[in-house]
Chain A
Amino acid sequence: MPRRRGDIQNPDYVKDTLDRRSFLKKSAGLAGLTGAAAYLGLAPENWPLSLKDITGRRSEPTVESFRLTDYRVPPPPGVKDVVVGRGGTVEQRLAKALDGIGGLTHYIKPGDIVLVKPNVAFDRSPNLGATSNPETMDRLIRMLLVDCKVQEVRVADNPIESPSDCFVKSGIAGAVDQAGGRIYLPDSNAFRMLNTPGATLIENWWFMHRPLTNVDKVIGIAPVKDHNLCSASMGIKNWYGLLGGRRNQFHQDIHEIVSDLSIMIRPTLTILDGSNILMSNGPTGGDPSNVKKGDAVMVATDPVAQDAWAFEHLLERGTDYPEYLHRSEEKGSGRVDWRGRLEELV
């Protein structure tokens, strides 16, 4: 039978006594606790361990931000900034373009962790041209794993529609799984505050951070799409898909945000897939009649020139380039004038 204090009925009742020793012990303990509480609550703000908050601002949540590293790699000498692969299958065009820019192995080293960023913004089948081409994805991931012997290929995007659905129905999930890559879906924990010096709208903005942890190289792979507001969604606009937060506000200044994207992340390579070109009803498409079959895959170290050429030759919209390309050039992301810096391999 356990001893119970205060229970007189209990035969094992122990009288509750307070001797000097325990009195002193208890007093000391109480004084210590009270003193500690008094210090924490009353000490001035600048004292160590003080919890004092006079203005109420000290308790405001602070968000730590991080910065991205520059993922660019100097191209081998004599190589053009933009290379277009033409003819044959998508895989052949991709291989041609990559060879033309100096070979994928020049940019990616064995043991690297590589992030591949496709455009999976919508829940559309691949033939509708609204999302990146799964065949190109498949080929690229296999090259990275087999030829470049990378440690891991990650694939990530923050789609507008349900992430799981967009990845599955665009065919990207299947391609990535088969080729041996790993998909990172955005959930509320995947984002952190990114600090981009020089950006006007997104100097500090929520960014899909998780897939970029410990990443060595970044490759963007985007389709070429019509877009009502900014006239074309191509390689640079693709990075929009790593933003989180209330990004639907950016349409109020779309050209500024796209040019901000060009300095937000400095990818190793940008691949622009002109196989299914969304000519109208973009960027969602929705009908095969909106899509034109093309035969060009572009790889670039200068995403601005790449977008300019694609705007002119793939979307066939002349040389009245979108405003955001000029602003990107002003911000130092590349040069709009692609002439003399581009090579077409047939």
Chain B
Amino acid sequence: MTPNPLQIQVQPEGPPKVLKKFRLTNVRIVSQAFFFAAFILAVWATWTSRLGGYPVSRFLEMDPLVGLSTALATGYVYRFLGWGLILLGVTLVFGRVFCNWMCPYGTLHQFIGWLVNIRKHPDRWKSNYYKPIYFLKYTILTVFLIMAAFGSLQIGLLDPICLMYRSLATAVAPASDMLVGILGNKVDWVGIDPGLLDPLLFAPGSQNRVFVGSFWIGLFLASLVGMNLVIPRFFCRVLCPLGALLGVLSRYSLFRINRDVHKCTDCNLCLTRCEGASDPQGALRLSECFGCMNCIDDCPEDALSFTMIGQDKKQVVPGPELGRRRLVFSGVAGLLAYPFIKNDGVNTNENYSADLIRPPGSVEESDFLSKCIKCDQCINACPTNVLQPATMDEAGFEGLWTPVMNFNIGHCQLKCTLCSEVCPTGAIRKITVEEKLGKGDYAEIGAISLGTAFFDRGRCLPHAMEIPCVVCEEVCPTSPKAIQTVDVEAKNVFGEIVMLNKPFMVPDLCIGCGICQTECPVTDSRAVYVTPVGETRSEERRLLLNKRNQAEA
């Protein structure tokens, strides 16, 4: 049909020109850019020289799935987790708009999808039909919530905010620092004043942060991003438990996309860029709709609107496609998953890894596992790189990617409590330096101990080889020092008289900070090493009946 200029001129109805130019999708893009930038900024700002009381964990605290699941697991709502109510409110008014207006992870997927342009195909609308596999996220949500109710928190594996934080902090940020560092070094050699460069973006002043297992975390991120080539917004449509939670809630939302069946010509153009695969061309699947507003843009007939009034009650499927059978199945799966993960037996009070050292302020282990969402924000905040995402060796599958301390890489700095400051869920309870060191009001309780250091006298230079060393004693930060020396003059095998300061441990004074292990020159298997036994957070994992220094005082 050729347009008739006359007809356009005389047609008086339709919105005024200004409103026609105003597109909701443009506002949406601004909103997405804002929240994405804010998220990156929060990751960037979570570094010792930048933290200054800013709410860097607000994204995690605003995540209602974090609030809900920790409330199920612990019975309480920690510190700022009430912020999740805001998002619930937004969802009840506008539907699942979080996914396409705020969620930085959703933005990442949408952006990548747009970048690779896989949908510039003439048939691209076909990839945006609803597929039955999209019910999977509701199953995942159900399993996670039931496990949480039993006390094992696993939502962090797939919750988009936790997942994105973890990926950025342990894979993307160090990769960026490393690449910029290598390039910076090249510039150094070319002769440009290297003093002008401050090469490390995320962790200035650090020596190449490394994160154990970050390869797998990075690969996980890359795979999920790559899946956009197969199914657009794969993660958001198929896996996201937060999207599922908001999808369930969105059935009660006031606003939604409404199709005027009298205007609609069934051209299916609304599917061209439909992010959620929510079938706006038929009965809208409300639980799947991200509120991206693309369909309104793409509709040539103005048949679609985002509205509260005049909704066509027939043209909507309010709830998710999760029949009773599937719900029961998901419930059973969750029910079985809990004992499965708990009976793994690698993290009981009788059998636990000697490497399972939790950061200061951590609550007792089973409590810890019911609170930690594996967001790894603590790991990002740690200035010495000692905090590492746990592998299955340390904490089993249940504790995968929870924070543990690796004293070969770094040590726990005496006057630092950053990990406890940023923890959004209280797995690492907020402590002060006073409490950590057992000073002031906490003098009677004593310092928080992360474990106890031991000597391997067969590898220790003064003990085994009559070579002076005692770096461990030098760096031991307590006063009086927990590592002390017996000073002996000995004749070594070459007949020389050497002065040996042979170190020994005073376990009562040891706080398990691990600096002795970090600085020990026997680098492969350290001659002095810390294990978690004696950690103050656990009665069951205690070592000494009495601390002798406190008995005296």
Using a CB–CB cutoff of 8 Å, the interface residues on chain A facing chain B are: 122-125, 154, 160-165, 168-169, 184-189, 210-211, 213-214, 227-229, 246, 248-249, 251-254, 281, 283-287, 289-290
Contact = CB atoms under 8 A, between A and B. Distances in A.
B411 to A, nearest CB: 7
Nearest to B487: A228
23 contacts: A123-B413, A124-B414, A160-B475, A161-B384, A162-B48, A162-B206, A163-B205, A163-B206, A164-B47, A164-B205, A164-B206, A168-B48, A185-B204, A187-B204, A189-B188, A214-B193, A227-B474, A228-B470, A228-B474, A228-B485, A248-B521, A252-B461, A254-B468
B90 interface: no
A164 B195 CA distance: 17
Interface of B: 47-49, 181, 184-185, 188, 193-195, 197, 199-200, 204-208, 383-384, 411, 413-416, 461, 467-471, 473-481, 485, 501, 515, 519-521, 523
B206 A187 contact: yes
Contacts of B480: 281
A248 B519 contact: yes
Contacts of A162: 48, 205-206, 383-384, 413, 416
Q: Which 9 residue pairs across A and B have the least CB separation, nearest first?
A: A185-B205, A286-B479, A162-B383, A287-B479, A163-B205, A164-B49, A164-B205, A248-B521, A189-B185
A123 B205 contact: no
Contacts of A125: 415
Nearest to A287: B479
Nearest to B206: A187
Nearest to B483: A228
Given A162-B48, A187-B208, A284-B477, 16 more contacts: A122-B477, A162-B206, A162-B383, A162-B413, A169-B415, A186-B205, A187-B206, A189-B188, A228-B474, A228-B485, A251-B469, A253-B468, A284-B474, A284-B479, A289-B479, A290-B479
A227 B188 CA distance: 36
B182 to A, nearest CB: 9
B441 to A, nearest CB: 18
A281 B481 contact: yes
Contacts, number: 122
B553 to A, nearest CB: 13
Contact of A284 (B206, B468, B476, B521): B476
A182 to B, nearest CB: 9
Given A168-B48, A189-B184, A286-B479, A123 B414 contact: yes
Given A189-B181, A246-B521, A164 B207 contact: no
Q: Which of A154, A162, A163, A213 has most B Cβ within 10 Å?
A: A162
A188 B184 CA distance: 10
Given A162-B205, A229-B468, A229-B474, A187 B199 contact: yes
B371 to A, nearest CB: 26
Contact of A164 (B184, B383, B414): B383
A187 B188 contact: no
A215 to B, nearest CB: 9
Q: Specify the main secondary structure of chain B where it touches its partner.
A: loop
A165 B413 contact: yes
A123 B416 contact: yes
A254 B476 CA distance: 18
B342 to A, nearest CB: 36
B519 A160 contact: yes
Contacts of B206: 162-164, 187
Dominant secondary structure at the A interface:
loop
A94 B481 CA distance: 33
Nearest to A282: B474
B282 to A, nearest CB: 37
Contact of B474 (A124, A164, A283, A289): A283
A124 to B, nearest CB: 7
Contacts of B185: 188-189
B191 to A, nearest CB: 10
Contacts of B468: 229, 251-254
Contacts of B48: 162, 164-165, 168
A103 B208 CA distance: 42
A161 B480 CA distance: 19
Contacts of B199: 187, 189
Contacts of A187: 181, 199-200, 204-208
A99 B467 CA distance: 45
Contacts of A229: 468, 470, 473-474, 501
A216 to B, nearest CB: 14
B419 to A, nearest CB: 13
B351 to A, nearest CB: 34
A228 B461 contact: no
A213 B208 CA distance: 22
B471 A248 contact: yes
Contacts of B205: 162-164, 185-187
Q: Name which of B184, B185, B413, B474 has the most chain A CB atoms within 10 A of its CB.
A: B474
Indicate the member of A122, A123, A124, A188 with the most B CB atoms within 10 Å.
Answer: A188
B195 A184 contact: yes
Contacts of A163: 205-206
A164 B471 CA distance: 22
Contacts of B467: 252
Contacts of A249: 521
A289 B523 CA distance: 34
Given A123-B415, A165-B413, A213 B193 contact: yes
Contacts of A210: 188, 194-195
Of the candidates B204, B207, B467, the one having the most CB atoms from chain A within 10 angstroms of its own CB is: B207
A32 B474 CA distance: 64
Contacts of B208: 187-188
Contacts of A254: 468
A107 B185 CA distance: 33
Contacts of B193: 213-214
Given A162-B48, A162-B206, A210-B195, A285 B479 contact: yes
A338 B50 CA distance: 46
A210 B185 CA distance: 11
B194 A161 contact: no
A161 B208 CA distance: 14
Nearest to B178: A188
Contacts of B523: 246
Contacts of B411: 161
A165 B520 contact: no
Contacts of B47: 164
Nearest to B50: A164
Q: Which of B48, B204, B479 has the most CB of A within 10 A?
A: B479
Contacts of A160: 475, 515, 519
A248 B479 contact: no
Contact of B473 (A122, A154, A185, A228): A228
Contacts of B204: 164, 185, 187
A220 B411 CA distance: 28
Nearest to B383: A162
